[in-house]
Amino acid sequence: MEIMKTLLAFIVLWPLVGFLVNGLGRNYFSKKRIAFYASEQIFASFIASIIVFILIKNNGAQGDITYFNFIHIGKLIIPFAFKIDQLSAIFLLIITGIGFLIHVYSAAYMQQEEQAHYGRYFSYLNLFIFSMLLLVLGANYVIMFIGWEGVGLCSYLLIGFWFKNDNYNYAAKKAFIMNRIGDLGFLLAIFWMIAKLGTANYSDVFSNVSQLSTTDITAITILLFIGAMGKSAQIPLYTWLPDAMAGPTPVSALIHAATMVTAGIYMVARSNVLYSLSEVAQNLVAITGLVTALFAATIAIKQNDIKKVLAYSTVSQLGYMFLGLGVGAYTGAVFHVMTHAFFKALLFLGAGSVIHAMHHEQDIRKMGGLKKYLPITHITFLIGCIAISGIPPFSGFFSKDEILAAAYAHNPVYWGIGVATAGLTAFYMFRLYATTFLGSFRGTPEQAHHLHESPSAMTIPLIILAILSVVGGLVGVPESLGGHHALHQFLSPVLLTEVKYETTHSTEYMLMGLSVAIAATAIVIAIVTYSKKPQISNSTGVGKLLENKWYIDELYDAIIVKPLGSLASFLKNVIEKSGIDAAVNGVGKLVNYSSRQLRLLQNGQVGGYILLMVLGMIVIVLIWVNDGYIYRFLMNLFFAK
Amino acid sequence: MISLLLILIPLFTGLLTFFLKQEKTAKNFSIFSSVITLGTVCIAIFFAQNNQLLFNTQWLPALGSRFSISLDGMSKALVLLTAISFPVVFIATYTNKYKSSHSFYALMLLTQAGLMGVFMATDALLFYFFWELALIPVYFLSSIWGGEKRIAVTFKFFIYTFIGSLLMLVGILYLYFNTVVPSFQIKDLLAAKISLKEQNILFWLFFIAFAIKMPIFPLHTWQPDAYEQSPTAVTMILSGVMVKMGLFAVLRWLVPLFPESAKTYSNIVIALSVIGMIYASLIAIKQDDIKRLIAYSSIAHIGLMCATIFTQTVIGTTGVMLQMFNHGINVIGLWIVADAIEQQLGTRKFSELGGLAQKAPSLAILFVILALANIALPLTNAFVGEFLMFNSLFQYNVWVAAIAGISIILAAVYTLNMVQKILYGNTVAATEKALDTTLNINWMLIVLVVIVFALGVYPQPIIDLTKDTVNVIVQNR
């Protein structure tokens, strides 16, 4: 217990110390030292996380580990406590492991930055990891919320990292504000728990769930889910994530794979006891996830920015995870978080490598034929594309299959939409792959001259992630394919298993076969279509609609942002200035006028005030002299009983 | 006895400062005085015995008014805030120039004496006396050393507060004439024989007086103007400490004196407060002036505190006490930044600023931290208070909490707007040659930021200061 307490404290504190040291010392340390120190802190956390994982695997989960009382007022106690169990142990590994690789990669990718900004970058990166660790380790919803808003802050700081560019600043602000909308839902859920149960500790809430009415549970779970929608970019709060690619590319990898967007999945999975008791909430989660998955995939088809395609693919994949959570496949969702972390980090870092080689060109229409210039990036990126498309035996296949199988058992329509989305996914990923790496180079001769493979600090993380993307699925091989699903067994103490819907093996084979066939067909079509000629022509009709992302940003602008701005202007210029303040000034003028008549304030207001004060004192004395007679008289006059 | 010192030190050093004609002497002496006061407060709060914190003697025997003060759980946090604010303000604005600065500093110290008295007085007439002692110097400070429109603005401020004071005085006297023995002591006023109807009328007399001071919508329009036009050192005290007079008076006097009325009218007060929160937040979004933005942001925050007081829960009241302290720290920090920008660049307009982060990285970082504290980010001091207050509002009514909660989102909008327009983007004409902050300002901001994080991670010390009294207040209801 003591060992665990110390280990966890260090896991969280190392990144925090890294943030402080690099943040304060960014003007004094060399770039090499900054990068080394920041990465080393995360590596230390990673090693400690492995130890924690092994301890948990061997000894099982432990009770809450309390450090001190964060808030203690009467009966309300909110401890600063950590909960380490199978679920948080898995997330620890993902966060610190992938986080470390992204740190290493960043050391080379950000080399162009000035020293002070280089230090600032790495300190933010460390803070990001710190917040995310707090989020998954908290033993109650308040600590989770601290990390929750912490990652929101870090994404704000990193999206707006190049703060000279105002477009980036808007993107950063948008991310923070959209997240805050979700956060309000989260907060209200916490208040609801505290009002009903007097606690926000996971263990107390889950064990006293019988004291909650169905309405309570539904309200709490839906409010929590609103928080998840913001953080995990689900409809209607998803538009910040595609804009978030304004930040440096490794940051996108961090946000999309290791931290931030997986927080919503973690939260729902963590609260699975509550969600299982509310069918309404579960359906809401599943349908939101499904719609988001399909919707984002349609947008991704028409995007030409390499990072935007990946961003929409993340929104879409997160939709899958929520579909999984909604149909009760909690393990499947966590499994997909893990495999997605591998291949999405790989894809983003690969995209970073491409952008690095192309001197900050992100438009895939100006790329092409990069296969021969960037061999390692090419092969690893291809692996990422295969993995996300769900082709066996790559990791994405197993996790996606598990979610789809559960969806089928729940409702075949869910499955149908899920498979259609999988087809779209395979299509747009290979469109991206083919346009970027196949065919002939379409950039300027200048760019062609400078094309080069990235340094090893960037390619080694790519190779590691590629290996993980290939074999990562093996921890969850289903029974029907002769596996044991090790992950399922490991997580079983924390996550409820949906036993209501069991499918036969033959059905499962059929489902797998269908989805793989559809994905494979989509891949072939995409490669054939896009490897030779890039798609330059301007789209019309539906294509244009997709290219412009269904005009959702414009819609939000028209129905929320603009009206709110007009309302604010109206309040400021009309109500405040011509209404309330004018009325007050009117009264003031009246007083001024009458006072001039009385010549009381002739010598300026100060004199008048003092005179009035003195008069007041005389009145008090008079009142007292007459034993309060005058006062009583006046009072009776005004407040006759 | 030690509590008396907290009033006497600023009072006498203040009077003495009037005679220090050398500018530098006056400044240094005021800093010296305020640091001594701070030291005394720390001793009083953390080391003194409880009976040393009371002081009670004859004052106006003919009226039955006594000079009785008490540094109790209710006043400790605010007395500490008052003691911290003045040296911070003096040092941060050290380089600002004032004509006949000795009078300026003397009046500031007198204000401090008045504030200390307001927070500690347990006799209503004495309370009224200190209330005026705190306000009158501010009135001079603003009208003599303020901006262009200072006369008109100060006049408005004066009329408002004067009306408020009069209403309060009438209320106090009415209570006084209904006490069993002629006395202004709070315990005797509590025992005054008044009917429910009288209670209801008196409640509004007092409430309007305090609502003007806080201020509560729609009695707030004096505030943005006053904050904008006063010299920034005065604005810091006005918004950091003096607005808490209104809130404090509601907690110490209004609710205990008229518990039934407070319950009856809680929905009206909470409705006004919540309307004010959203209203002020929306207006803040459209401001083009740092000072006015902070002013409206402050109105929104005060609205939350006032609403919470009337939910009458232990958790909420603790949250209010905590937040009164933390809001003071944060808002003073923001004013220091605003002043640093105005003094150096000669403008407070967002449209004329930009890119300052490139020129003044250290100021930028401290500013961002304070801005984040202003929107109650977790692990900054304001989070715990807001969490407790919203929690209490939620228990009062789910929808009220949800509507008030919108201000959390709006706060992010206007605060990040401010940060972006001042710090980010490319430099403009005004910021082209900007320098980083002076050492004074830098260090004072660092002090405040340390408090921000310390109380953000471990708020218990302030919660513990208020513990006993909060229980008493709420149980009385």
Spatial distance between the Cα atoms of A395 and A344, rounded to a whole number of angstroms: 12
Spatial distance between the Cα atoms of A473 and A395, rounded to a whole number of angstroms: 4
At A361 the pLDDT is: 82
- Sorted by where each begins, the domain ranges of chain A are 331-547, 549-602, 604-641
Average pLDDT on A54-69 reads: 87
B138 touches chain A (CB under 8 A): no
Per-residue pLDDT band for B36 (boundaries 50, 70, 90) equals very high
Residue A180 CB partners (closer than 8 Å, separation 6+): A152, A230, B408, B409, B412
Report whether A509 contacts A480 (CB < 8 A).
yes
Does the pLDDT value for residue B360 go beyond 60? yes
On chain B, the residues whose CB falls within 8 A of the CB of A145 are: 378
Report whether A292 contacts A264 (CB < 8 A).
no
CA distance B36 to chain A (A): 31
On chain A, the residues whose CB falls within 8 A of the CB of B423 are: 163
Average pLDDT on B186-213 reads: 87
Count up the domains in chain B and report the number: 2
Average pLDDT on B154-172 reads: 85
Give the model confidence (pLDDT) of B432-469 as tens digits: 777 777 788 888 999 999 999 999 999 998 888 887 77
Q: Do B251 and B284 have their domain in common?
A: no
B219, B239, B264 - which closes a domain: B264
Burial of residue A71 (number of CB atoms within 10 Å: 0-12, 13-18, 19+): buried
Spatial distance between the Cα atoms of B74 and B119, rounded to a whole number of angstroms: 8
Spatial distance between the Cα atoms of A441 and A367, rounded to a whole number of angstroms: 6
Q: Do B187 and B318 have their domain in common?
A: no
Tell me if A632 and B402 make a contact (CB, 8 A cut-off): no
Lowest mean pLDDT among A534-548, B12-26, B174-188: A534-548
C-alpha neighbours within 13 Å on the C-beta side of residue B322: 33
Q: Do B216 and B349 have their domain in common?
A: no
Per-residue pLDDT band for B82 (boundaries 50, 70, 90) equals very high
Average pLDDT on A380-390 reads: 91
Q: Which of B198, B108, B91, B92 is nearest to B144 (CA)?
A: B108
A434-465 burial, b for 16+ CB within 10 Å, e for fewer? bbbbbbebbbeeebeeebebbeebbbebbebb
Q: Which of B398, B412, B471 sits opposite A177 (nearest CB)?
A: B412
> Which candidate in B107, B129, B159 is best for mutational testing of the A interface (most A CBs within 10 A)?
B159
How many CB atoms within 10 Å of residue A43?
Answer: 18
Spatial distance between the Cα atoms of B241 and B237, rounded to a whole number of angstroms: 5
Report whether A81 contacts A67 (CB < 8 A).
yes
Token code pair at residue B88: 């911070």
Q: Do B6 and B43 have their domain in common?
A: yes
Average pLDDT on A222-236 reads: 92
B241, B264, B287 - which closes a domain: B264
- What share of chain B has pLDDT > 70, as a percent? 98
> How many angstroms from the chain centroid is the CA of residue B96?
22
> Which candidate in A28, A73, A631 is best for mutational testing of the B interface (most B CBs within 10 A)?
A73
SS3 A198: coil
> Which candidate in B176, B181, B416 is best for mutational testing of the A interface (most A CBs within 10 A)?
B416
Residue A469 CB partners (closer than 8 Å, separation 6+): A339, A342, A343, A346, A383, A384, A387, A394, A395, A396
> How many angstroms from the chain centroid is the CA of residue A101?
19
Instruction: Give me the total of CB pairs closer than 8 Å, taking one residue from chain A and one from chain B.
Output: 164
Strand intervals (E) in B120-163: none
Quote the domain boundaries for residue B451: 272-477
B residues 90-129 closer than 8 Å to A (CB): none
Q: Which of A173, A176, A187 is nearest to B404 (CA)?
A: A187
- ∠B138-B140-B146 over CA atoms, to 5°? 85
B228, B244, B264 - which closes a domain: B264
Spatial distance between the Cα atoms of A402 and A395, rounded to a whole number of angstroms: 12
ipTM of the complex: 0.92
Q: Do B469 and B362 have their domain in common?
A: yes
DSSP state, residue B114: H
Give the model confidence (pLDDT) of A115-152 as tens digits: 888 999 999 999 999 999 999 999 999 999 999 999 99
Q: Do B381 and B401 have their domain in common?
A: yes
Q: Do B123 and B201 have their domain in common?
A: yes
The overall average pLDDT reported for chain B is 88
B residues 72-91 closer than 8 Å to A (CB): none
On chain A, the residues whose CB falls within 8 A of the CB of B458 are: 68, 70
Q: Do B43 and B70 have their domain in common?
A: yes
Per-residue pLDDT band for A599 (boundaries 50, 70, 90) equals low
Q: Do B344 and B429 have their domain in common?
A: yes
On chain B, the residues whose CB falls within 8 A of the CB of A624 are: 62-63
- β-partners of residue A140 are A201
Q: Do B222 and B285 have their domain in common?
A: no
Q: Where are the alpha helices (DSSP H) in A29-85?
A: 31-59
**Model-level pTM greater than 0.95?**
no
Q: Which of B166, B198, B315 sits opposite A73 (nearest CB)?
A: B315
